[in-house]
Amino acid sequence: MLASVKQLQVVNSFAQLPPVFYTPLQPQVLSNPRLLHANVEVARLLGLSETALSSQDFLDVVSGVKPLPDGKTLAAVYSGHQFGVWAGQLGDGRAHLLGEVVGPGGNWELQLKGSGRTPYSRMGDGRAVLRSSVREYLASEAMAGLGIPTSRALALVVSDDPVYRETVETAAIVTRVSPSFVRFGSFEHWSSSPDNLRLLVDYVIDHFFPECRIEGGNPDDDILRFLRSVVRKTAQLVAHWQTVGFCHGVMNTDNMSILGLTIDYGPYGFMDAFQVNHICNHSDTQGRYAWNAQPSVANWNLYRLASSLLGLGLDAEALKGELAHFEADFLQTYQSNLCNKLGLRQWQPGDESLVDDWWGLLHGQRADFTLSFRELAVAPQQPAAFVAGFDDKSAAQAWLDRYTQRLDQEARPVSERIDQMNSVNPVYVLRNHLAQGAIEAAEKGDASEIDTLLKLLRDPYVEQAGYEAYAAKPPEHACQLEVSCSS
């Protein structure tokens, strides 16, 4: 039976670590907080009833007015590399962990983002603006709809309190949900403190990687197996990002989940016009986190994680041996995804060239990433319509001829292939202009556009009548939208 807020079973496993890992403190309450939206699907994961979402108890918790019943509210400390440079101590500068709910299918930590200053805020104000809060709320659910590992979003609270960014905006709080918010930077923080690093490693392995623990075995081998698992999960995650045209925007080590989840949605973007070196973050002036750089950056971040484990006396060559699996792990998922997206049964020698030339065609024509894959399903049967979508029609026709020949090698039934492609190539993704429309409505207190987008993004592969505009190319003005680290 689904429960009320007060009936939730709450544990606090992270809070059982020594006090040096966090600071207990309550959020800074917003003025007149109002619930703009609550996510029924995520509530079910926690065991919360839909009725509970409209209760005062629920609003009190997700606005930070009252603690989660039986929860221990805290802000965690961590460190990290930001844009490739060691930034030293960081931490939850505008987030509060409320506790860990024992849900029907697992445990979920609840965290408020935008809930006020903490000892780790540095020069920040501890707030999140409505604009970025709506974007995170929608993005995490969009990724879940695509089947990509991610944190989730439970609630969006708004206020009239001013927040100063490039302009004056209003404050909001997102309730984020994840099995854990431990990140690569959590390990980096303790790299020179072996006792605390060992406690963190043991906590993470015991709670989230128990399969890496062999009773009576060498503890160092447990850690190597743990690193191997993190390498695999991270490589798979970035391969998923690449094959849906997603750019994270700020792949700092403090934004990398140890569980291989997409977390900390800031200046992210789903590509419209494809460019292999697309930069979604206006603050990323050097293009460190461009689309084509994401795999190499993820690998670099894993080296930083492994370097922190040297503090436990592990052998450097043994750690490198686990890291060496990254490329193969990435390619396995990347190639498998592309086989499905291209309607191929399995990857064959020569497919690398076909895919590289596909990226080259999309790049040279600035073709729409999502629509190009979706339209490819019927391109062999409707070549004229496919080719008409490209300025360089001869290049498009030449590639389509090669692709059709590749399909002919498998002699696969057309209907079977089309069904497969349509099951993995989405009709709807969270384009920037769609998110912006939801933001503008939310600024007026209207959550209807959030409802519409969640409806489409939760089942992104199925065309829904009456929503053609949400699947179309973005309007011309959309290219002027910019997202930055202030998002």
Average pLDDT over residues 413-423: 97
Mean pLDDT, residues 278-305: 96
CA distance 204 to 182: 8
Q: What is the pLDDT of residues 200-256, one digit of tens each?
A: 999 999 999 999 999 888 999 999 999 999 999 999 999 999 999 999 999 999 999
User: By CB neighbour count within 10 A (0-12 exposed, 13-18 middle, 19+ buried), where does 195 fall?
Assistant: exposed
Q: How confident is the model at residue 2 (pLDDT cuts 50, 70, 90)?
A: confident
Among candidate residues 71, 60, 53, 57, the one with its CA nearest the CA of residue 107? 71
What six digits make up the tokens of 373? 């894959």
- Distance of alpha carbon 246 from alpha carbon 359, whole angstroms: 15
Work out the percent of the chain whose per-residue pLDDT is above 70: 98
State the DSSP H helix or E strand holding residue 170, giving kind and residue range, or none if neither: strand 168-178
Q: In Å, how far are 13, 44, 140 from 8, measured between CA atoms?
A: 16, 12, 23
Distant-in-sequence, close-in-space partners of 350: CB < 8 Å, separation ≥ 6: none
Quick one: pLDDT at residue 476?
Answer: 79
Closest C-alpha to 45, from 89, 95, 3: 3
**What's the confidence (pLDDT) of residue 215?**
86
Contacts of 412 (CB under 8 A, 6+ apart): 343, 345
In this predicted model, which residue has the larger pLDDT, 336 or 123?
336
Q: How many CB atoms lie within 10 A of CB 449?
A: 19
Owner of token pair 């043994």: 318
Q: 17-33: buried (b, 16+ CB within 10 Å) or exposed (e) per residue?
A: beeebbbebebbbbeeb
Give which of 78, 351, 324 is closest to 190, Cα–Cα.
78
Catalytically active residues are 254
What is the pLDDT confidence band of residue 481, given thresholds at 50, 70 and 90?
low
- Cβ atoms of 10 and 102 closer than 8 Å: yes
For the chain, what is the mean pLDDT?
96
As a whole number, mean pLDDT of residues 140-169 equals 97
pTM (global) more than 0.95: yes
Poorest-pLDDT segment among 92-106, 123-137, 436-450, 464-478: 464-478
DSSP of 346-373: S--TTHHHHHHHHHHHHHHHT-BHHHHH
Directed axis angle between helix 219-244 and helix 316-323, to 10°? 30
Torsion angle, CA of 432/438/441/446, rounded to 10 degrees?
-170
Confidence of residue 411 (pLDDT cuts 50, 70, 90): confident
Confidence at 486, pLDDT banded by 50, 70, 90: low
With beta carbons less than 8 A apart as the criterion, state whether 108 and 101 touch.
yes
Cα distance between residue 81 and residue 88, in whole Å: 8
What residue spans define the domains of the chain?
5-182, 348-424
Number of H helices, E strands in the chain: 17, 13
SS3 call for 307: helix
The phi and psi torsions of 96 (rounded to 5 degrees) equal -130, 125
Structure tokens at 338: 């592309």
pLDDT digits (tens, 9 = 90+) for 127-148: 999 999 999 999 999 999 999 9
3-state secondary structure of 55: coil
Size (the chain), residues: 487
Residue 105: per-residue pLDDT: 86
Q: Is residue 432's pLDDT more than 80?
A: yes
pLDDT the model gives residue 216: 84
